Chains A and B, each alone.
Chain A
Amino acid sequence: MTRIAALLLLLGIALPALAAPFGIDQLMATMANNKRSTASFSEKKYLAIMDQPVESSGELLFIPPSRLEKRTLKPKPETLVLDGDVLNVERRGKKHVLQLASYPEIAGMIESIRATLAGDRKTLEQVYHLTLSGGGSGWVLLLVPREAKVAGIVTRIRMEGVRDEVRRMEILLADGDRSVMTIRQGAAP
């Protein structure tokens, strides 16, 4: 009995040394190795006011460490460029420049994607509590807002991925509405 316990204890100590379980640090390190990456996305918004989900699709471009572009192509063209703490929005032929710092709620949501892609644990943890499950070949990262201000809008963000790729992102809003974005690496088809 004690021998088994001792063995388990031994295993418990030895196992991490053998196979290094997939932790947040490891995921972040993997993500941080990412170079410039492009992906196509399709997004479905499930809104209480609408009887059907609202769909959109387009391209994502991430240039480490801080530039993220989201180009929506359908149904309405729109370009969103986040560079540093400035957000440029181009819509209906009009350009808007927003300071991220002036919009903490939006900033929180946008930062979740960018910081994950950049493998920036420090920034992520400033805004969210992180929980990771799964392993390198299939992981789920759960982000729960720390601040009440952000939590008043977003209940949680769930990211699913494989190795250094984010494949799916689900944002659950405080009012029960949610948005699901599926991401495919490489340029849009």
Chain B
Amino acid sequence: MMRHGLRHNRLAIALWLIFLSVSVWIVSRASFTADLSAFLPRTPTQEQQLLVEQLKSGIASRLILIGIDGGDPAARARASLAMAARLRADARFLHIANGESLGLERDRQILLENRYLLSPMVTAERFTPEGLRAGIEDSIEQLSTSSGLFSKALLPRDPTGEFMQLIEGMAGGKSQPQMADGVWVSRDGRRALLLARTRAEGADTDAQEQAVAAIRTAFQATASPAMQLSMTGPGPFSVSARATIKDEVARLSGISTLIIIGLLGLVYRSFPALLLGLLPVLSGALAGVAAVSLGFGTIHGVTLGFGTALIGEAVDYSIYLLTQSERSGDVANDAAGRQRWLAEYWPTIRIGVLASVFGFASLLFSGFPGLAQLGLYAIAGLVTAALTTRFVLPHLLPANLRIRDLEPIGRRLYFAVARAGRLRTPVLILFVAACAVLVVQRDQMWNQELSALSPVSKSDQALDMAMRSDLGAPDVRYLVVVTAAGREAALTGSERVGTALRQLAAQGVIDSFESPAFYLPSQTSQRQRQASLPPDAELRRRFQVAIADLPLRAERFEAFFADVARSRGRAPLTRPDIEGASLAEGVDALLVQADAHWTALLPLRAAAGSRQVIDAAKMRAALAETGLAGVYFVDLKAESDNLYESYLREAILLSLAGLLAILALLYAVTRSPSRVLRIATPLAMAVAVVIAGLVLSGQQLTILHLVGMLLVVAVGSNYALFFDQGEVAGDIQPRTLASLALATSTTVAGFGILGFSSVPVLNAIGVTVAPGAILALIFSAILAQRR
């Protein structure tokens, strides 16, 4: 019997050690992230997929807005120029804009030489005698303007003014930022502004971190000490979010570990007990990280932060083992005490662990990867901690382990609890009041925007908004996305969509749009334009007719005839032809290859006076009329809010399912509806009071508060179970009471620390679970039945 038990012990310890080594190995190879991925759906719809692509790698995701404050305007301008020059030489940036007119010469040359292929005005009608005449008359009128002395130089070469049309079409609608000393500045002139576009996509936080560092280095090398640098945009934001999460996870988990160790040390007064008591927690944390790494590939920083809180919960099991076992000072008796503990208390703990697992399991089904990771981490962590406590820890405890007996503390607590019943009425009143608050506030207590989870601070968001509006930088809320198998197909699609969009602009549904085809028309369009150019002799004949009664002479237009003839024989312009020109930047920003398909982006500007809103129904109807496949109208803001709303709906359903699962478990174990009710009532009250408190303090509830509520139930049920068991057994033991108080303290310390986090996701869980756990314990004590 004895030898058999010993073999069991060795087997359990060996398995545990193997498990730990495997976990350490997995964790050592795990990758960590802190980007948006935690907030993006796992199984997106087509529109959500576009949202995800845009957020991860779209044009807006690669933009970094840079501001230089301080010093005098001229010095800021010099810094801007010097910084831009350095960054332009850096391959990590596709494009740096600060108001300098660079590359204009090359653009001019390309546009001029290829105007008959590039200009959408080039049609067969344009080259009839009437079309030519209309164009020429326009150009003559142009001569009367102030720029006439300059535009006349082009007249012999471009009598129909195609070049000016092209230039104006490209600049059309874009509001230029304010300039001072040759660079962009804010409207009040106090900040120099630059716009950088990174080669790396916005979701590549490592590359974004390098870009941010490169900008900072360039700033330090060129600016005077009186100046300050600010950067906003998805890249800098995710970089600083990652730094914040990293920093906070390290700091908060450090603090909560210290607090918990301090608490345990104070209570146990035994170093070996303290170390042994932490073993299940460490095993659990390792298992959690390893499980998430296996299940998701990467571990999100938020999950680690959450893991911090779970330390406080996982340590409970060893607290129960170490403090609840009766102790006599006699080695043999102590071992027997532990056996008795396993028999008496383990079943209760087992139900508690199961209740927690059921609660967290519902998160596993969430389409919100952040939640699913939390769920998996918690389950793996708690189960491992519990199993280690049950099967490994008892064998590791030295025979002569001495820890302080909690019996005296327990007695004092017992005395307090015995009188707590008097508080029933006030607690009921509190509960009713909390319910009233929730009923009154039910419509405005939820935050419906995904940005509620954004780790970007309000002041940074405001700075971003200010710089965006000063720069006229695309906020890119509305997009038409054209997907196609190849570059050419995407461009043709963009052109056909462009026709529909021009009609919508004429109807006032939108103000204007951009298109990659503005910068590089499809080969088809270019060939069509070529085909509409008449042969030389015919052109000369028509031109003669067109200028019949105009004060012009045909012999002065040889350059025009030559250009048209050359355009007829020219190969259509392709992407390599425009390399190095700002035309190429335009195309590259709006036409991107992702995997096997090409995506053309046509950003839309809302019509003036529409409060920046575009009628989605009209847009979708007009796009449907084009009959093109793979064309989508995307309202990124609506899409992300929809996404969040679906997360919220889903989280509510999952939480309810988790709640039901816990209740079902309790019923299965107790077989008594009234006992289930007695266990659940204090939990429901705790949740209601905490949420009402948060709402009253002005917090808007997010999906994470909801998760917090589920956790209050999952964690609190552990405590309620002990009271219930106490009632069944006659009365709760003073020592059990003391262990519960200690267990709650560690849980509250773990979660409570999260309440100090500036990361909204962690903060929400912290401020819900910490007070919830305390209240669950107190309410359980107050409501417990006594015989």
Give chain A's interface residues, CB within 8 Å of chain B: 45, 47-52, 54-56, 70, 72, 75-76, 78, 80, 86, 89, 91-92, 94, 96-97, 99, 101-102, 105-106, 109, 171, 173, 177, 179
Question: When the two chains form their complex, are residues B145 and A56 in contact, meaning their CB atoms are under 8 A apart?
Answer: yes
Question: When the two chains form their complex, are residues A50 and B145 in contact, meaning their CB atoms are under 8 A apart?
Answer: no
Question: When the two chains form their complex, are residues B149 and A91 in contact, meaning their CB atoms are under 8 A apart?
Answer: no
A-B contact pairs, 28 of them (CB 8 A): A45-B152, A47-B152, A48-B556, A49-B155, A49-B156, A49-B552, A50-B140, A50-B552, A51-B553, A54-B148, A56-B144, A56-B145, A56-B148, A75-B141, A75-B144, A76-B141, A76-B144, A78-B145, A89-B147, A91-B145, A92-B168, A99-B101, A99-B179, A101-B182, A102-B182, A173-B149, A177-B152, A179-B149
With both beta carbons as reference points, the residue of chain B lying nearest to A48 in the complex is identified as B556
In the complex, what residues of A have CB within 8 A of residue B101's CB? 99, 102
In the complex, what residues of A have CB within 8 A of residue B553's CB? 51
Main secondary structure of the interface of A (DSSP, over half): strand
In the complex, what residues of B have CB within 8 A of residue A177's CB? 149, 152
In the complex, what residues of B have CB within 8 A of residue A101's CB? 182
Q: Are A80 and B146 CB-contacts (below 8 A) given A49-B556, A96-B171?
A: yes
B 550-582 binary contact with A (CB < 8 Å = 1; else 0) = 011100100000000000000000000000000
B 624-662 binary contact with A (CB < 8 Å = 1; else 0) = 000000000000000000000000000000000000000
CA distance A177 to B152 in the complex (A): 10
10 shortest interchain CB distances as A-B pairs = A51-B551, A56-B144, A52-B551, A54-B143, A78-B145, A76-B141, A80-B146, A54-B144, A102-B101, A50-B551
CA distance A184 to B377 in the complex (A): 85
With both beta carbons as reference points, the residue of chain A lying nearest to B159 in the complex is identified as A49
Question: When the two chains form their complex, are residues A86 and B179 in contact, meaning their CB atoms are under 8 A apart?
Answer: yes
Q: Are A76 and B149 CB-contacts (below 8 A) given A49-B156, A96-B171?
A: no
Q: Tell me the smallest distance from the CB of B64 to a CB of chain A, in Å.
A: 24
In the complex, what residues of A have CB within 8 A of residue B551's CB? 50-52
With both beta carbons as reference points, the residue of chain A lying nearest to B556 in the complex is identified as A49
Q: Tell me the smallest distance from the CB of A80 to a CB of chain B, in Å.
A: 5
In the complex, what residues of B have CB within 8 A of residue A106's CB? 150
Q: Tell me the smallest distance from the CB of A3 to a CB of chain B, in Å.
A: 57
B 129-146 binary contact with A (CB < 8 Å = 1; else 0) = 000000000001111111
Give chain B's interface residues, CB within 8 Å of chain A: 99, 101, 140-150, 152, 155-156, 168, 171-172, 176, 179, 182, 551-553, 556
Question: When the two chains form their complex, are residues B149 and A45 in contact, meaning their CB atoms are under 8 A apart?
Answer: yes
Q: Tell me the smallest distance from the CB of A39 to a CB of chain B, in Å.
A: 16
Question: When the two chains form their complex, are residues A99 and B144 in contact, meaning their CB atoms are under 8 A apart?
Answer: no
Q: Are A50 and B172 CB-contacts (below 8 A) given A97-B179, A99-B182?
A: no
Q: Are A45 and B143 CB-contacts (below 8 A) given A97-B179, A99-B179, A102-B101?
A: yes
Q: Tell me the smallest distance from the CB of A155 to a CB of chain B, in Å.
A: 12
In the complex, what residues of A have CB within 8 A of residue B147's CB? 89
Question: When the two chains form their complex, are residues A47 and B146 in contact, meaning their CB atoms are under 8 A apart?
Answer: no
In the complex, what residues of A have CB within 8 A of residue B99's CB? 99
CA distance A45 to B144 in the complex (A): 8
Q: Are A45 and B179 CB-contacts (below 8 A) given A50-B140, A76-B141, A102-B101?
A: no
In the complex, what residues of A have CB within 8 A of residue B144's CB? 45, 54-56, 72, 75-76
CA distance A90 to B69 in the complex (A): 32
CA distance A179 to B149 in the complex (A): 8
CA distance A167 to B726 in the complex (A): 109
CA distance A96 to B149 in the complex (A): 18
Question: When the two chains form their complex, are residues B140 and A54 in contact, meaning their CB atoms are under 8 A apart?
Answer: yes
With both beta carbons as reference points, the residue of chain B lying nearest to A110 in the complex is identified as B146
Q: Are A72 and B145 CB-contacts (below 8 A) given A49-B556, A50-B552, A102-B101?
A: yes
In the complex, what residues of A have CB within 8 A of residue B140's CB? 50, 54
Known contacts A47-B143, A50-B140, A171-B149; can you find 20 more A-B pairs with CB under 8 A? A45-B152, A49-B552, A49-B556, A50-B552, A51-B552, A55-B144, A56-B148, A72-B145, A75-B141, A76-B144, A80-B146, A86-B179, A89-B147, A99-B101, A99-B182, A101-B182, A105-B150, A173-B149, A177-B152, A179-B149
CA distance A11 to B59 in the complex (A): 79
Q: Tell me the smallest distance from the CB of B55 to a CB of chain A, in Å.
A: 33
CA distance A173 to B179 in the complex (A): 30
Q: Tell me the smallest distance from the CB of A81 to a CB of chain B, in Å.
A: 11
With both beta carbons as reference points, the residue of chain B lying nearest to A70 in the complex is identified as B146
CA distance A76 to B143 in the complex (A): 10
CA distance A102 to B183 in the complex (A): 11
With both beta carbons as reference points, the residue of chain A lying nearest to B153 in the complex is identified as A175
Q: Of B101, B141, B144, B172, which is in contact with the most chain A CB atoms at under 10 Å from its CB?
A: B144
With both beta carbons as reference points, the residue of chain B lying nearest to A52 in the complex is identified as B551
CA distance A51 to B143 in the complex (A): 13
Q: Tell me the smallest distance from the CB of B107 to a CB of chain A, in Å.
A: 14
In the complex, what residues of B have CB within 8 A of residue A97's CB? 176, 179
CA distance A168 to B551 in the complex (A): 26
CA distance A75 to B144 in the complex (A): 7
Q: Of B140, B145, B152, B553, which is in contact with the most chain A CB atoms at under 10 Å from its CB?
A: B145
CA distance A96 to B147 in the complex (A): 12
Of the residues A49, A51, A76, A91, contact of B152 by C-beta under 8 Å: A49
In the complex, what residues of A have CB within 8 A of residue B155's CB? 49
In the complex, what residues of B have CB within 8 A of residue A78's CB? 145-146
With both beta carbons as reference points, the residue of chain A lying nearest to B156 in the complex is identified as A49
Question: When the two chains form their complex, are residues A50 and B143 in contact, meaning their CB atoms are under 8 A apart?
Answer: yes
In the complex, what residues of B have CB within 8 A of residue A92's CB? 168
Q: Tell me the smallest distance from the CB of B43 to a CB of chain A, in Å.
A: 47
CA distance A171 to B148 in the complex (A): 13
In the complex, what residues of B have CB within 8 A of residue A109's CB? 149
Q: Tell me the smallest distance from the CB of A97 to a CB of chain B, in Å.
A: 5
In the complex, what residues of A have CB within 8 A of residue B146's CB? 70, 72, 78, 80, 89
CA distance A47 to B179 in the complex (A): 35
In the complex, what residues of A have CB within 8 A of residue B145's CB? 56, 72, 76, 78, 91
Q: Tell me the smallest distance from the CB of A95 to a CB of chain B, in Å.
A: 9
With both beta carbons as reference points, the residue of chain B lying nearest to A51 in the complex is identified as B551
In the complex, what residues of A have CB within 8 A of residue B150's CB? 105-106
Q: Tell me the smallest distance from the CB of A149 to a CB of chain B, in Å.
A: 14
CA distance A92 to B165 in the complex (A): 12
In the complex, what residues of A have CB within 8 A of residue B148's CB? 45, 54, 56
CA distance A175 to B142 in the complex (A): 19
Q: Tell me the smallest distance from the CB of B182 to a CB of chain A, in Å.
A: 6
Q: Tell me the smallest distance from the CB of A114 to a CB of chain B, in Å.
A: 14
Q: Tell me the smallest distance from the CB of A83 to a CB of chain B, in Å.
A: 12
With both beta carbons as reference points, the residue of chain A lying nearest to B146 in the complex is identified as A80
CA distance A91 to B142 in the complex (A): 10
CA distance A41 to B182 in the complex (A): 32
CA distance A91 to B179 in the complex (A): 20
Q: Of B99, B149, B551, B553, which is in contact with the most chain A CB atoms at under 10 Å from its CB?
A: B149
